Structure 1
Amino acid sequence: MTFGGYTNAVAHNKIESKISSSVLQQHATAVTGPAILAPSYSSLSALQPQLITTVLDPLKNRTVQIFDEPIPDDCHAELHADYAGYAVMWGLGNKASSAAECCRMCKDFKSPNKDVPHGCHIWIWCGDPSGRCWTMDIHEHRTDCDANHSKRTAVNRPAVESASALEILKRENELLKSTLEEAGADTSVYQNLNGLIPEDIWSPATTVPDDHAFIEQYGAPSETPHHDGTECFKWDNTMWSAAEHFKYRWNKFKNIKNAIDVNEGGFEKFSQGYKHFGLNRGEHEGKIGIWYREWAPGAKALCLVGEFNAWSPKDDHWAVKNSFGVWELFLADNEDGTPVILHRTKLKCRLEGADGNWYDRIPAWIKWATQDMNEIQFNGVHWQPEEKGAPGEVDPEKSYTFKYPRPEKPRSLKIYECHVGMSSAEPKINSYLEFRKDMLPRIRKLGYNAIQIMAIQEHAYYGSFGYHVTNFFAASSRCGTPEELKALIDEAHRLGIVVLMDIVHSHASKNTGDGINMFDGTDSMYFHSGARGNHWMWDSRVFNYGNWETMRFLLSNARWWMDEYKFDGYRFDGVTSMMYHHHGLSYTFTGRYDEYFGLSTDVDAVVYLMLVNNMLHDTFPTAITIGEDVSGMPAFCRPWQEGGVGFDYRLQMAIADKWIEVLKKYGDHQWGMGDIVHTLTNRRYMEACVGYAESHDQALVGDKTIAFWLMDKDMYDCMVRGHKLELQALPGKGPQSPTVDRGIALHKMIRLVTLTLGGESYLNFMGNEFGRS
């Protein structure tokens, strides 16, 4: 059972003490764990005592009351929180009741002490930043209560209002440690807290000297292990039925890596194709200038046209084709030292296709593309600022110099999924700089430690939300320049926020004029030809992952965004569609291994995913990869070194579908708790998941938000914005609404149970973050 990303699976240290009801409040306040739970109790000797439970959130310095109701004389209460105080679960039951009835919201959570004496038992659990468990038991005997509490009543809780989260945890650790020592308990698990760095809890804002420039520290390539690809079976020995499939794909993986080493000079060089293809500064026969290279094997002739030559090629603007189908053109600098193609110059390549027709195409490796007013198609733009800006300086005419280091890799992700263009409250496309100024501080204040940005790769159709990519190496120009996107990411790093990119390698736009489809006049090139190369559901092109240049293109694309823009990782879109010839459509996975490992599996695609995970985790040691897989393929989130696919996380997509199903089909009294809990916890052992109640798929693409399912039109008439949601009449809008009352309560509950049970990390889409406290 996981809470806030941590597993309650290690040994507990318990304190058992007999204390009087008169000091229980002081004791419970003084000896809480690092979640800084602060329960306060009225006299437990009363017939109907009140239990008032509060959670002090150290990151926002505020106390939130979560529970307040009468408790019977013989009572039992359980409280649970993650280390930041966000996930709180409580249970209440009479001691005469069964264990299954003891908790209302986490019924499978068992009391650590089944035989509780007459009176009250309070149990508190907290996960510290390293994932260990902290526990405390307090027992009261009314007939024997004064002898054992004298020392503990002298312990005073320090003030926390002005302390940092790390300082609070350290002081709480010392208090709990001293209490354990008095009780004669083992304190070894608590001795390392003072050695924690802030990133273990939540990456703090970073301060560096004004002239500090961030320098990437790359990892070293790792050797391919010498086994047959079945090492991952140690986590699931029932997978031996698929052993031959794993051995086959492992051999294919090794053979491709060996071929890259022999033919391309190694994985490092192969994955940096952007330094060779497209437009890059270079030298030829002692002259400095611009190299342009493009793989277009079906083309019969190719040249560059643009503003630099009035869209009409000169004799020296024609490229030459080599034996590998790569067209090469060198443009020497002018006599005054200026490049022939200046920064921000619009251009395209003009080619004679395999069919004999002439086409204007945007170079496949272009770094920026823009759409002029009153024009439908995009133009490629040569983006290469001549000056280098000072660290942190935002100047579109200077290349951005990163100032702040990457945050440490969080132990548990709290992801804020967002779309820059849609993030403004105004009816406009928002910019990178506005998002940087307005949204990032708010996201940090809300307690998220990661953002996942949609629609970064350029896409001609804005309504595709970035999923029909036309220019894979170009940052979306609707929101600003490449340097402004870099400034956004650098500022996120300053705030301690990890930046993930929603990358699309599962398919590509069918556009020809401003995409890479039919680039050289053939229907193949980077894609499968014929029907296999067309995605019948998405109306897009399907990559041929076994093609050498396709692998170079996509591997280089994954490295480009990490290297040039300092993204910290990726959410790979549509991975299920990649891994199966049927794309996971009109197909039900029942869990049989032959459904994952058989003739319907696209082994080339799975091997590509292993290669890209290998490259990313070797090159960038803190890289995070999340795969959008709905099939539940075994070993998807096991390291590639074991023969797994290599992702860090799988998106737990079934959870969001389950909540929509429940809200659509069932009344409140018909919710099947067993079915909901099964969906929330149904994941493979030792394979981490990102749980979420709703993402952009539910909020934007053909569905309604959970809030709208719950409250519908009453959201517009019966809600007041303030310190907290108050249910009252709006002027001229009518009385308060029980629909909103119910909706907010269920909205909070759905998020709470998803956060605590749904996975090792959590995601929420922007606009749905209300109702979280």
Structure 2
Amino acid sequence: MGKKLQFTELDQYLFGQGTNYDIYRKLGAHPDTQNRKKGVYFAVWAPNAQAVSVVGEFNEWDTEKNPMKKVGPIGVYETFVPGAKIGQLYKFYITGAHGEELYKADPYANAAEMRPGTASRITDITNYKWKDDTWMKNRENFDPDTSAMSIYEVHPGSWMKHPQTAEDEDGFYSYRELAPKLAQYVKKMGYTHVELMGIAEHPFDGSWGYQVTGYYAPTSRYGTPQDFKYLVDYLHRQKIGIILDWVPAHFPKDAHGLANFDGTAVYEHADPRQGEHPDWGTKIYNYGRPEVKNFLIANALYWVEECHVDGLRVDAVASMLYLDYGKKDGEWIANKYGGNKNLEAIEFFKHLNTVVLGRNHGTVMIAEESTAWPMVTGKAEDDGLGFSLKWNMGWMNDFLEYMKLDPYFRKFNHNKMTFSMTYAYSEKYVLVLSHDEVVHLKCSMLEKMPGELDDKFKNLKAGYTFMFGHPGKKLLFMGQDFGQLREWSEARELDWYLLGEENHQKLQQYVSDLLHIYRKYPALYGADNDPSAFEWINANDGDRSIFSFVRKSPTGRNNILIVCNFTPVARPDYRVGVPKKKQYKLIMDEQGLLPKGKVFKAEKKNCDNREFSFAYPLEAYGVGVFTY
């Protein structure tokens, strides 16, 4: 048999263009048979190295046994090691541009050693037998613009843990153990998608996975790449979508990682004013370099095409778009027009989103972007960035500021809850209450609420009802749906024991009711981007801190009217104006779902500047969800 795997001239050409989208099938470590010998093919890009060899358990880490040969001008080195086996650890030993001796983990490795070890591990990603054909076929027709999306954000290492023992001091659930437990919970609650944090390999638990060293390796904390695929496969068979956090904004300076890879700046900019984040102590990618863009875009495709994930939530987009992000004068370099926009990052996003979404219909690319940058979800050909959705950080900040207030002061801040509707259609949004809001002394969602414990629960229910009625997809971080009391910590599991208490049980059931109503009624999701499908009934009732609005269904059937009272004052004679002289059926109140529902007939009585209205008793912190 002749050579099977090699880095061909075509590979080199495409890599130099930044368009070798399957490059992870060549670079890295891949089991192969060459000249009738079984072994492993290794390839690495180290353009300015003087020499490269591969060291590992197959050669006693001897730097001279397996030198690699440079192929072509682009700086890729390759070799075949007969007898190297799946499961063995390895690194690249690089003699750097200035004679440095560097031991580097494989940037394209598909598995890594469990931290604190830093070596890469040989594995075979081609041998998983998928069983999610139905999901993958249906996914092609998924349209985020008109579909329900309620996302459960999960940090797998702290969602649930085994009791910690001397042998198992982390107590992590494996991907395979997590699969049925997570699927069961998500289905019971009614979420449509899970968003997983910290899946790509990272050295430090406390970074929550936002400082990545192994972009192509599902973290070994919870098992192998096959185990990770099993988790995705299992969720798909339970009709649950899966989104991953993805971090193309920066990378850590760890000695075994991408920084200074061959003794020179390979993945990052050489000038620290372009290549470093002073606040984060991390390196910034050089988005103008084709091979670097290729590394990242192929990585997005690896997760979506090789691992079947349904979308990526792209972290820290703003830090990529602005050259002066988190920097003082003198710490950054302007673009060629003298401005602060990172033109190369803009081009990168357009390229990334066009390729990922163009090749994988029905997947989503979600931007975590915290500024008013225009057209984040606009089409690339119209000079947008091409994302499917954008996190609505403005809504989140205003909503939390309002909810934290003593109810007496809410009347002076009424516009915090209405302002988001002035820009609700400028982008395609996800309303988020994410992990970022319940760490670093920000308090858990329940503890942010004012008043005694009972009041906290009532406030939170009213707040969640408002959120689920507001246009935009939904995201809740784990623990928020049952009223976690403590702030989140990656080091311990959620306080599931709280579900032994009635208040927490009732909140969990209430959120589940909201999730099920949200999915049942297209009025709440089918026209999120259509301004004519939302209408305030009364946006100005600041004195009573009551909000009322309607969401219209794309078909005109089963429209929804929502009323939320954000004070502890009951309004037994509350009257609400309505669009039509119809019957309005109360399907949910502050106690939860009403299986039978209660019908109110609109009468010809002027209210809220409308001809028709009906009266019903609105409780303290009460809500009403009606269909008509």
Q: Secondary structure at the match of 2:124?
A: coil
How do residues 232-247 of structure 1 correspond to structure 2 at under 5 angstroms?
none
Q: Does structure 2 conserve the Cα–Cα contact (< 8 Å) formed by 1:440 and 1:492?
A: yes
Return closer, same or farther for 1:470/1:382 CA change in 2, 3 Å cut-off. Answer: same
Distance 1:678 1:603 in 2: 34
Q: Secondary structure at the match of 2:263?
A: coil
Identify the match of residue 769 of structure 1 among 477, 481, 502: 481
* Deviation, structure 1 residue 487: 0.9
Distance 2:125 2:216 in 1: 16
Q: Does structure 2 conserve the Cα–Cα contact (< 8 Å) formed by 1:418 and 1:451?
A: yes
Q: Does structure 1 conserve the Cα–Cα contact (< 8 Å) formed by 2:399 and 2:417?
A: no
* Deviation, structure 1 residue 268: 10
Aligned to 2:393: 653
Is residue 2:175 matched to residue 1:432? Answer: yes
Q: Does structure 1 conserve the Cα–Cα contact (< 8 Å) formed by 2:59 and 2:65?
A: no
Is residue 2:421 matched to residue 1:681? Answer: yes
How do residues 495-514 of structure 1 correspond to structure 2 at under 5 angstroms?
495-513=238-256
Is residue 2:409 matched to residue 1:670? Answer: yes
* Deviation, structure 1 residue 474: 0.6
Is residue 2:63 matched to residue 1:308? Answer: no
* Deviation, structure 1 residue 546: 0.6
Distance 2:279 2:44 in 1: 30
Identify the match of residue 468 of structure 2 among 755, 768, 771: 755
Aligned to 1:329: 79
How do residues 363-374 of structure 1 correspond to structure 2 at under 5 angstroms?
363-371=106-114
How do residues 216-227 of structure 1 correspond to structure 2 at under 5 angstroms?
none
Distance 1:484 1:538 in 2: 32
Q: Secondary structure at the match of 2:182?
A: helix
Q: Does structure 1 conserve the Cα–Cα contact (< 8 Å) formed by 2:18 and 2:291?
A: no
Distance 1:527 1:554 in 2: 15
* Deviation, structure 1 residue 641: 3.0
Return closer, same or farther for 1:431/1:284 CA change in 2, 3 Å cut-off. Answer: closer
Aligned to 1:631: 371
Q: Which amino acid aligns with 2:135?
A: P
Identify the match of residue 709 of structure 1 among 439, 444, 448: 448
Aligned to 2:567: none
Q: Which amino acid aligns with 1:621?
A: H
How do residues 522-541 of structure 1 correspond to structure 2 at under 5 angstroms?
522-541=264-283
TM-score by length of 2: 0.68
Aligned to 2:205: 462
* Deviation, structure 1 residue 381: 0.2
Superposed CA offset, 1:276-312 (max 9, x none) = 2112345768977533221112211110000000111
Q: Which amino acid aligns with 2:429?
A: C
Mean CA deviation greater in 462-471 or 652-661: 652-661
Aligned to 1:577: 319
Superposed CA offset, 1:114-140 (max 9, x none) = xxxxxxxxxxxxxxxxxxxxxxxxxxx
Q: Which amino acid aligns with 1:704?
A: C
Gaps in structure 1 of 5+ consecutive residues: 1-259, 334-339, 393-401, 588-594, 712-737
* Deviation, structure 1 residue 430: 2.7
Return closer, same or farther for 1:583/1:500 CA change in 2, 3 Å cut-off. Answer: same
Aligned to 2:603: none
How do residues 192-211 of structure 1 correspond to structure 2 at under 5 angstroms?
none
Superposed CA offset, 1:453-491 (max 9, x none) = 100111100110000111111101111111111111111
Q: Does structure 1 conserve the Cα–Cα contact (< 8 Å) formed by 2:192 and 2:241?
A: yes
Return closer, same or farther for 1:652/1:524 CA change in 2, 3 Å cut-off. Answer: same
Identify the match of residue 553 of structure 1 among 287, 290, 295: 295
* Deviation, structure 1 residue 439: 1.6
Distance 2:125 2:311 in 1: 26
Q: Does structure 2 conserve the Cα–Cα contact (< 8 Å) formed by 1:415 and 1:764?
A: yes
Distance 1:632 1:262 in 2: 39
Q: Does structure 2 conserve the Cα–Cα contact (< 8 Å) formed by 1:680 and 1:754?
A: no
How do residues 223-622 of structure 1 correspond to structure 2 at under 5 angstroms?
263-264=13-14, 270-281=20-31, 290-320=40-70, 322-331=72-81, 333=82, 340-371=83-114, 376-384=116-124, 388=127, 405-406=135-136, 408=139, 409=142, 411-424=147-160, 426=162, 428-513=171-256, 515-583=257-325, 599-622=339-362
Q: Which amino acid aligns with 1:424?
A: M
Distance 2:417 2:272 in 1: 44
Distance 1:586 1:645 in 2: 26
Return closer, same or farther for 1:316/1:743 CA change in 2, 3 Å cut-off. Answer: closer
Distance 2:267 2:248 in 1: 15
Aligned to 2:518: none
Gaps in structure 2 of 5+ consecutive residues: 1-9, 164-170, 330-334, 483-506, 512-591, 593-628
TM-score by length of 1: 0.55
Q: Which amino acid aligns with 1:554?
A: L
Distance 1:585 1:656 in 2: 25
Mean CA deviation greater in 402-411 or 309-318: 402-411
Distance 1:529 1:575 in 2: 21
* Deviation, structure 1 residue 760: 2.0
Distance 2:112 2:200 in 1: 10
Distance 2:55 2:134 in 1: 39
Distance 1:307 1:707 in 2: 51
Q: Secondary structure at the match of 1:438?
A: helix
Q: Please tell me the root mean square deviation across aligned C-alpha atoms, in Å.
A: 2.9
Return closer, same or farther for 1:678/1:657 CA change in 2, 3 Å cut-off. Answer: same
Give the count of matched residue pairs: 457
Q: Which amino acid aligns with 1:709?
A: K
Is residue 2:435 matched to residue 1:691? Answer: no
Distance 1:586 1:424 in 2: 41
Superposed CA offset, 1:595-642 (max 9, x none) = 9x9711101001101111001111101111110011121111112232
Q: Does structure 2 conserve the Cα–Cα contact (< 8 Å) formed by 1:458 and 1:475?
A: yes
Return closer, same or farther for 1:495/1:315 CA change in 2, 3 Å cut-off. Answer: closer
Return closer, same or farther for 1:617/1:382 CA change in 2, 3 Å cut-off. Answer: same
Q: Does structure 2 conserve the Cα–Cα contact (< 8 Å) formed by 1:296 and 1:525?
A: no
* Deviation, structure 1 residue 564: 1.4
Q: Secondary structure at the match of 1:342?
A: coil
